[in-house]
Structure 1
Amino acid sequence: MLDDLVGEIYETVTDRGRLAILATRLQDELNSHSSALVIAEPDRYFLMQNSVSPESADAYNQHLWHGDIWMKEFLVRSSETVLSGHQMCAYRDIPADYRHHVLEAADTYDGLSTRVIDTPGLTASISLYRSRSQDVFQTSDFEKMLFLAPHLKRALSLQQVFGELSHDRVLLEQAINHIPGQTFIIDPHYRIVAENALARDTRRKNPGIDIRHGRIVLRDQSAHKKLEHSLEVAIRSGMPATFLMTTADGMAPLLVRVVRLNTGLAESVRTMAGGPAQKHFVIVTFTSPEPLPPEAASVLVSAYQLTQREAETAIFIALGLSPDEIAERMGVKLSTVRSFLKSVLAKMDAKRQSELAARIQSLFARR
C-alpha cells in the first residue's frame, strides 16, 4: 500500500490538484484520529485534511487558534467542520504567533508533525492529530510518516524546478526524467521545451511520433487533431485530456495524456487564495495502456449496466483491438461486435472508440 502512496506522491509533480487525493489517502493509511498535509508559500496557505466532527472543530478552534477570525471563516466555509478538503488563506494573514503552531501541529491537545521541506519559498509538513478518546500514537504511524516524508520532499522539489527553472533546459530535463512514460513539456506556442530520456529513446523506434520544427507531429491524423485540440484546451482552461492513438502495424496503441502544468497551486486554490497569474506549460505523456484488472468486466457491468458480452467488447477496445480482431477473439460476426459497441458507446456516453478506450483506461488507472 505504501508503494501505491509513493506513486501518488510523484503524480503531484505535474498535477498539484492531486494533493487533495493524496491527503485523503494519508487519512486512510494512518491510524491517528486525523492526518493533514500542510503546504505554505509566501502568498498562500494550503491545508488538506478529512472532515473532523463539529465537537473536535470547537476543540481545535479553542485550544489552537483561540477563535481567530480567519479560523472562523474556515469553519463557516466548511459547514461547521474544521479542515475539510482544501482550506486556505494568505500565509501572511495568519498571526505571526500562530504560524509555528499551524505548521508544526503543536499546542493542540495532542499532535505531532514532521517537517518535509523548509525553504524561503515553501514550507510543508505531514501532521498527525489524536483525539482524547484514542490511545497513544501507534509506532507504525511514525514509521509511515518518516518513510513518506523524503518522497514528498523530492516531489515538492521537482515542482519548484518546474515553476522556477522552466527556461533552464538541462535542469528541466533532469526533473522530467522522473516522470514515467515518454514525456514532453510543451509551451503555449506548442513548442517542445524539454523531453525526457525515454521520449528520446522511444521516439527513434516509434514511427508514429515525429518532431518537426520543434513540435510533436503524430502520423495518425485523427490522433494529431486530438492532440492539437487537447493542447489548446489545456493551455486555455486547464482541462486535461486522455485518448488512445494507433501506431504502426503490429505495435500496441499508446495512451496519450495531456495535463497543464500549473507552476503554483491548483487553479481553484489560486483563485481563492489570491496570487499572480502564471505562464502555463503542458505535460504530454505517451504510455502503453495498463493491463486491466481481472474484475474490470464485472465492474463495467455493474457501473454502466452493460451485458457481459458488451463489457468484454469494451475491455477489448480499451486494450487497443479493432472490431475485426474482437470478432475473431469472441467468435462472433463483425456485425455483432458493432452492435455490442454501439450499445456500449451509448451506455458509457462516449462518441468514439478512442474516447471509450481512454475512459476505461482512466477508470482503472492506479490511483
Structure 2
Amino acid sequence: MQSSKLSQLIGELYRHAHQADGWMAFFAMLETEIPSRSTTLMFEDIQTHDTDIVLSRHLNNDELQVYGEHYIHTDLWAGAMADLPLFQFHSSEVVLDRQLLSSEFYADYTKPLDIRYACGAYIENPKIGQAFRVTIQRGHQHNPFSREELQTLNLFVPHLQNALAIYKRNIALESLQRGFDSISNIIDSAAYLLRPDMSIVSQNALAEELLQQDIACIAAGKLSFRSHKLRNTIAQLMNSLQEFTHNRATSCRNYARMEQYQISIEPHLLPSLVPGAQELGALLQIKNSDTNVNIDLAGLEILYGLTNTEAGVTRLLCKGLVVKEISEAMGVKESTIRSHLKAVYAKLDVCSQPELLSKIMASLARTQADVV
C-alpha cells in the first residue's frame, strides 16, 4: 500500500473515531485496499465467552447473534489466535486447513456465510480476561491473507488502539448522559440516584425541591431527611435491598407507604466514564401519597387467591391506612382486621406490612407496564 493511501486511511480513522459510522467508513476504505468480505470489531469476555459485537460490515444482527450465542464456543480460529502474540494480525492459516474444514464452526456457520479465510488481531489484551478483537473475513473466491497484507495491517494496530480508546470514551460519555437523563426524565416523583452509602450521584427537579423545602438534607455529603420516620423508613429499605452485589442481572424494587409518601427503591447502575467498571447504586423515588393507587379488588382476589374482604383490607392498607383506620372504615374490630391481614400474609408468603406492600406494589408496577 502506498504511503499516501496509508496516511489517508489513518487520517480517516482518527477523524471519525468517536462515531460508529466513522469506523464503518474506515473499514469500507480498508476493504478496497485489502479485499475482504466483512470486517468485525468485537468485545470478548475471555473467561465466560460472552461477546458484544460492537461494529460489523456485511454481517447482519441475526448472524452476529447466532455467533455470540453458540458458535463462539466452537470458533477454533479465535481460540488459536488468543494464544498467539498480541497486537498484531494473524491469519486463520494458523489452524490446519483440514481441521477447520472438518469442524462444526466451518460446516454450520462460516461456510453458509461464505467465510473461508480470516485474519485478526487482539488490540486489547485477552490475558486480562477482556479484549477487543478486529477480524477481517474473506469468501471462498478469495485467497488466504498474504504475509505482505498482514504486515500492512500491522501498521494500523497502534492507531486502532488509540482510535478505540477515543470510541470507548465517547460511548462512556453517552452512557453517562443517559444515566443522568434517566433520572431527570422522572416527573411524577422526587428521584435520587445514590451510592450504597447514600451519597448523591444525581437527582431530578422534584428531588431538588425537597432539599429546598428542607424535607431532605445533605449531611456529611450523604442524603438524609429531617423527619425521623421518613429517614428510618428509607434506611430500612436501603438495608433490605440485597441486590447491592455483583449480581447485576437481578431486578428488585422495595416499597413502603407512609402517611404522606409512597417510597420505592431499586438497584441502579451508576453512570461511569470507565466502561465495564460501573458501580451498583440505588434509585430512590419519593411520591406524594395523594396520588391515587389504582388497585383492583378483583385483581387481588384472582392474583393472590384473596377473599373479597381480604382484598378490601389489602387495598386500604396500600392506600396508607393503618389498622385502626381500616377497622373504622369497614365497621369492624381491629382484631378482625388483624386476622384478615394474617390470612393475607400467609397467602402472599410475607411476614410484615413492608413485605406485603413491596409485593403488591411490584405486581401493580408490572401490570401497569404490561398495559403500557
The alignment's TM-score, normalised by the length of structure 1, stands at: 0.49
Q: Which has the higher contact order (CA 8 A, sep 6+)?
A: 1
The alignment's TM-score, normalised by the length of structure 2, stands at: 0.49
Q: Which has the larger radius of gyration?
A: 2
